[in-house]
Chain A
Amino acid sequence: MSSPPPTTEVAPEGVSPLTLVAAHTAAHLRELGRVPAALIANTLYPVAAFVLFIVPQRAIAADPLQSLVATGQLAVLGALSGFVFGYGIAVAEERANPWSQYVRTLPVPASAAVGARFVVAVVLVAASLVPLGLAAFTLSTAGQPFWAGELGWWRIPAAGVTTLVGGLPFLALAVGIAFSVAPRTALALAQVVVFPLALVGGLIFPPGLLPGWLDTVSLLTPARAARDATVAVLTDGTVAWWTPLVWLVWLVATGAFAVAAQRRDEGRRFR
């Protein structure tokens, strides 16, 4: 940046970006809270999947370890789906609406406006993990090791945080796509990108079922990194030493993509 222009009066400092992130987050949450239908659908998705696909399989539901693994896997799948389809892609619709256009004329860096979307997505996806946890405890044997004292209770919130943090590359990827293409294209593109990642990442079938070469590919995906880390935290397991590295590389790459796409964006594609 060039040196500040010479002015006789001292310009007051701008408002801190964190204040703006907080203000925009509060406004988004308030707005979403007043139209709860979409909110409820996104919140109930992971728990519905658990009740429909895990609970009926007695072999899994009756085994504490398998129940925990399934819960962790669904938590990551739910976070991924919420980040991408619930909130990330929504940016594509919203960047074209007049209010979002107007916000871009305010003295707020685009990074703060996008930051608020990230916070909103994390808060709401976190909320969707609560009913999942309750269902896992009441409808499967996932709670047994905790009641028996074999696993520490701290693992539950820690696994939640791991899920959310592990899912951030997906949020960044979805926001990047949303800023790059038209809304309809964004949805299609997100599906094309996300479903294979979820499948290969072992979120739909357990990674144990993947053939050897695909398992190697799987280990390089952010979905697998998030899944392995969440399951490890939840069940006192271990992850490969480079799993966090895989996650970090993806986060940096998708984050850079999101920021670049957002900078390039001019709102509507046509006048």
Chain B
Amino acid sequence: MQGAARADAPLQLDGVGRRFGDHWAVRDASLTITPGESVALLGPNGAGKSTLVALACGLRRPTQGDIRLFGRDPRQAGARRWLGVVPQANALPEMLRVGEVVELVARHHRDPVPTAELLDGIDLAGARRTFCGALSGGQRRRVMVALALVGRPRLLVLDEPTTGMDAESREALWQRLADHHAAGGAMLLTSHHVEEAERLCRTAIVLRRGTVAERGPIAALKQRYGTATVTLDTPVRPERLGDLAAVRHAGATGRGRVELVTSDADETVRALVRAGVDFAHLQINRASLTDVVATLGAEEP
């Protein structure tokens, strides 16, 4: 363990591992989320995202290492006082009305957001008396978000929060989460939706086989690990372009165009011009976070 836990850190993991049978779902994971910080937790399926979230919320006990939620063991109820969770699966008692569920969760907090205000904020004011079992998938998701927000949390843990939401609801939720961030709230987000991660978080943690492969500002990660593609029409054969600056791979596309996979599109274009390559219809696809996750999250050979 690395010294004393930071009492003000919403979440801190030190060398955390969790084993299921003889499989380590999370191994030697260390990370800190500071107040107000929004962090995207990314990685391919099976990289350990859900287990890490379950550990952070106190749902599971680590096999080794130390987890602190606001300076305390997350398995203690008091540690979860400022935690708001949107779990991956919608979880609502079918036979309770929306308002009743919100009020039940509100009872756990000293200063909850008033139910009417909360439901209004996520466009569910009209559903207050609806049974949860009668809600649509997108409505359920929004109720889950409302439940996470009712206690005015300082850390939101969101596991795929916008799954099943239409574009409009997603936009409204992102706005609501931006408000949370603006008010100084921290966030840990897992998402397969890289647009969502980039929109809501400045920092990303990429998991590979249960361990933290890389952590840093999203922009820096993209620059470092992302690949752009430069596509062009040219009479030059692709093999002759493979040695240009920053190019990792050169090949022909199906339509007779040449595609250059590059770690730095700007550098590659400059090299094309310098080399006097004859080209037309240049198209550049910039580095995406998806590539970063694919590169970093890939199994080591």
Contacts and interface: CB of A to CB of B under 8 A. Distances in A.
Contact of B77 (A19, A109, A271): A109
B110 interface: yes
A110 B74 CA distance: 12
B108 A6 contact: no
A108 B77 contact: yes
B87 A101 contact: yes
Q: How large is the interface on B (under 10, 10 to 19, 20 to 34, 35 or more residues)?
A: 35 or more
A20 interface: yes
Interface string B15-58: 00000100001000000000000000000000000110010011
B107 interface: yes
Contacts of B107: 15, 19-20, 23
B105 A13 contact: no
A23 B109 CA distance: 12
Interface residues of A, number: 34
Given A15-B107, A107-B78, A266-B61, A101 B51 contact: no
Contact of A27 (B20, B78, B93, B109): B93
Nearest to B106: A23
B8 A7 contact: yes
B89 interface: yes
B238 interface: no
Contact of A99 (B58, B83, B92, B111): B92
B50 A97 contact: no
A247 to B, nearest CB: 31
B91 A99 contact: yes
A14 B78 CA distance: 7
Given A99-B92, A101-B91, A5 B104 contact: no
B87 A31 contact: no
Contacts of B147: 102
A105 B87 contact: yes
B83 A107 contact: yes
A131 interface: no
A225 to B, nearest CB: 34
A34 B95 contact: yes
Interface in A20-73: 20, 23-24, 27, 30-31, 34-35
Interface in B179-218: none
Contact of A98 (B79, B80, B90, B108): B90
Nearest to B8: A7
B248 interface: no
Interface string A212-248: 0000000000000000000000000000000000000
Contact of A97 (B20, B72, B83, B91): B91
A15 B95 contact: no
Given A30-B96, A98-B91, A101-B87, A266 B59 contact: yes
B59 A101 contact: yes
Give 5 nearest A-B pairs by CB, closest first: A5-B7, A98-B91, A5-B71, A102-B91, A23-B107
15 contacts: A5-B7, A5-B71, A15-B107, A24-B104, A31-B93, A31-B95, A98-B89, A99-B93, A104-B58, A105-B58, A106-B77, A107-B78, A107-B81, A107-B83, A107-B151
Interface of B: 7-8, 20, 25, 50-51, 54, 57-61, 70-72, 77-81, 83, 85, 87, 89-93, 95-96, 100, 104-105, 107-111, 147, 151, 157
Given A14-B81, A27-B93, A99-B93, 15 more contacts: A5-B71, A15-B110, A20-B108, A23-B104, A24-B104, A31-B95, A31-B96, A101-B91, A105-B57, A107-B79, A108-B77, A109-B77, A112-B77, A266-B59, A266-B60
